[in-house]
């Protein structure tokens, strides 16, 4: 890796810096581009009908001949979820640890891409040479197994990207974070640290995952006669392991509910990341053969997702599980910012069914708090700090933390998605921007719903629609039928007959005015109907429904 004349390392975050999700960052030096992570974001409440949001990758498409590979830090959706969509445009090799690759391969199989993509499973400590880069995978802890930080070696210097991490000295499975390796890399001299900011506002240390096991033990001991339903993140394999351990200890059978939960447990079991004793798991259909005190359900829906298994149980639409007063529901997660209302709604519905609910002290975060972030900074001693992963307030909290550790403010770089940062030992500056943002996935359509369509959907959701239909005679422009008015989502017609009669009269007058003046231009007729009806509706209701005149010619 020889340093090229006047060449600096470019760091280009294409997503993940304004919100939780859609993490993807390009690193560029000379003729080589590598990409770290490729995540999706879930839609906001006002994105009607949208299933997923994936990042805009125009820059990668425009430089496709220089893109060498994707490297993944761990297997959460906000880091791997967009990959099947992005690979359709940028098909390059993939490097990831064992469980992360198992989850990626499941996605590729669903999208019929498994045989079309080159993949390599990487071990901790392994170095991958890729063009002008060398990438090393370093063991970290997170709420999913096989998480890794990446040391990215370039001729301009070493950049360490932590991925999502915490420092857990007593993990449920596997080894603790490799702090020794962080220290060794720190001694080599680190140009920049890109560190997880999710919990940067929280003082102290994140508790170890194994403490949750003790909480489960006491919950099971205190509720021996009830059926226990535990909602958690599907990807938190260690949490699932602890639930299974406690269930076995108390002689209970386990049912797994929710598609993503079933998929991840199956993949983790096959790869040896879950130890499930024989005859512990049973199919949902056999639940009726066991009394409540012998049953545990592990389910999705801890974030109040409307279609997840727990939501369907709570609102009574689940086909096989009915909530009863003898149920205890445990939320083993914290609401992700923005999901608080949805979680609260589910809890209220469960209480209304007379079930017991526990939603405190049954979760620990997978992200580093302030003391762990300080530890990583102290070990690496980076020249520059680049806070990543989180909303702006989270990243700002890390920036303030970095300043207290002695990093000069002009070396703490608060980037935005799309920024092009040029960096080397002498300087670091944003020299431009590249296209960035979200592509909406709706059903099988990728990108066919854009901002204009979203604006229409919001308009329809807020004010409804009125359609005016009329038939004109070809040539003469005489009115043959109509105008008829149809409305949806505006007012309930049967209870607003006088309003609709007046609206009909307004449209009639507008149409007859045009006919009397022998105007046959459809555009003018539609415009006149829109203006007249729009003014009338606004005066009467202070609403602006979408108005669509339809003219048929005979």
* Rounded-to-integer distance, Cα 102 and Cα 74, Å: 11
The beta-strand segments (E) located in 75-147 are 94-96, 119-121, 127-130, 133-139
- Cβ-contact 199, 401 below 8 angstroms: no
Please pick, among 223, 367, 389, 436, the residue that the annotation labels catalytic.
Answer: 367
Write the DSSP symbol of residue 412: B
Nearest-Å Rg of the Cα atoms of the chain is 29
- Could you tell me the CA-to-CA distances from 481 to 286, 428, 488, 494, 533 in Å, in that order? 62, 70, 21, 23, 18
* Rounded-to-integer distance, Cα 35 and Cα 26, Å: 4
Taking the CB of residue 236, how many other CB atoms lie within 10 A of it? Answer: 26
* Rounded-to-integer distance, Cα 421 and Cα 14, Å: 12
- Could you tell me the CA-to-CA distances from 304 to 92, 231, 498 in Å, in that order? 36, 10, 42
Three-state DSSP state, 458: helix
Residue 157, token pair as written in the block = 């210097």
Q: 519: burial class by Cβ within 10 Å (0-12, 13-18, 19+)?
A: middle
Q: Is 142 a catalytic residue?
A: no
Please pick, among 146, 168, 196, 419, the residue that the annotation labels catalytic.
Answer: 196
* Rounded-to-integer distance, Cα 301 and Cα 331, Å: 9
The CA-based angle 541-544-550, given to 5 degrees, is: 115
Taking the CB of residue 311, how many other CB atoms lie within 10 A of it? Answer: 22
Residue 448, token pair as written in the block = 């066919």
Q: In what order do the strands lie in the sheet with 295-299?
A: 253-257, 295-299, 227-231, 327-331, 356-358
Residues 6+ apart with CB under 8 A from 293: 224, 225, 226, 227, 252
- Cβ-contact 352, 327 below 8 angstroms: no
Q: Is 196 a catalytic residue?
A: yes
Largest CA distance in the chain: 88
Question: Which residues are tagged catalytic?
Answer: 196, 367
């Amino acid at each position: 890796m020889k340093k090229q004349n006047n060449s600096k390392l470019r760091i280009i975050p294409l997503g993940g810096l304004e919100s939780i999700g859609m993490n993807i960052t390009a690193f560029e030096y000379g003729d080589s581009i590598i990409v770290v992570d490729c995540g999706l974001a879930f839609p906001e409440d006002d994105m009607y009908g949208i299933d997923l949001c994936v990042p805009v990758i125009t820059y990668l498409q425009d430089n496709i001949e220089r893109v060498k590979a994707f490297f993944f830090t761990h297997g959460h959706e906000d880091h791997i979820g967009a990959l099947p969509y992005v690979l359709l445009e940028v098909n390059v090799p993939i490097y990831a640890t064992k469980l992360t690759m198992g989850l990626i391969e499941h996605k590729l199989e669903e999208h019929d891409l498994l045989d079309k993509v080159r993949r390599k499973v990487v071990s901790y400590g392994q170095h991958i040479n890729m063009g002008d880069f060398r990438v090393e995978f370093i063991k970290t802890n997170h709420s999913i197994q096989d998480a890794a930080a990446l040391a990215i070696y370039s001729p301009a210097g070493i950049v360490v990207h932590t991925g999502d991490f915490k420092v857990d000295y007593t993990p449920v499975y596997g080894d603790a974070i490799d702090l020794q390796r962080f220290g060794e890399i720190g001694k080599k001299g680190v140009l920049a640290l890109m560190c997880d900011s999710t919990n940067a506002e929280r003082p102290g240390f994140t508790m170890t995952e194994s403490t949750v096991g003790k909480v489960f033990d006491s919950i099971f001991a205190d509720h021996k006669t009830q059926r226990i339903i535990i909602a958690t993140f599907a990807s938190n394999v260690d949490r699932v392991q602890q639930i299974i351990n406690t269930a076995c200890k108390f002689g209970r059978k386990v049912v797994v509910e929710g598609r993503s939960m079933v998929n991840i447990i199956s993949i983790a079991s096959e790869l040896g990341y879950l130890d499930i004793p024989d005859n512990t798991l049973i199919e949902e259909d056999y639940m009726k053969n066991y009394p409540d005190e012998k049953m545990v359900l592990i389910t999705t829906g801890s974030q109040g997702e409307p279609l997840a298994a727990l939501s369907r149980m709570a609102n009574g639409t689940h086909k096989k599980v009915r909530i009863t007063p003898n149920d205890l529901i445990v939320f083993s997660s914290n609401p992700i910012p923005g999901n608080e209302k949805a979680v609260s709604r589910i809890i209220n519905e469960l209480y209304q069914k007379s079930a017991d609910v526990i939603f405190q002290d049954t979760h620990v975060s997978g992200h580093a708090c302030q003391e762990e972030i300080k530890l990583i900074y102290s070990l690496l001693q980076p020249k520059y700090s680049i806070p990543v992963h989180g909303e702006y307030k989270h990243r700002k909290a890390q920036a303030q933390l970095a300043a207290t550790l002695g990093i000069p403010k002009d070396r703490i770089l608060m980037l935005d998605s799309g920024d092009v940062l040029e960096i080397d030992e002498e300087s670091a500056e944003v020299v431009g921007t590249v296209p960035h943002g979200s592509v909406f996935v709706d059903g099988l359509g990728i990108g066919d719903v854009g901002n204009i369509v979203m604006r229409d959907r919001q308009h329809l959701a807020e004010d409804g629609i009125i359609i005016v239909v009329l038939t004109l005679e070809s040539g003469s422009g005489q009115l043959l039928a109509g105008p008829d008015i149809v409305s949806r989502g505006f007012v309930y017609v049967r209870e607003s007959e006088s309003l609709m009669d007046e609206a009909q009269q307004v449209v009639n007058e507008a149409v007859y005015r045009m006919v009397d003046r022998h105007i046959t231009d459809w555009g003018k007729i539609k415009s006149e109907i829109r203006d007249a009806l729009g003014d009338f509706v606004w005066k009467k209701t202070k609403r602006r429904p979408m108005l669509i005149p339809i003219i048929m010619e005979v």
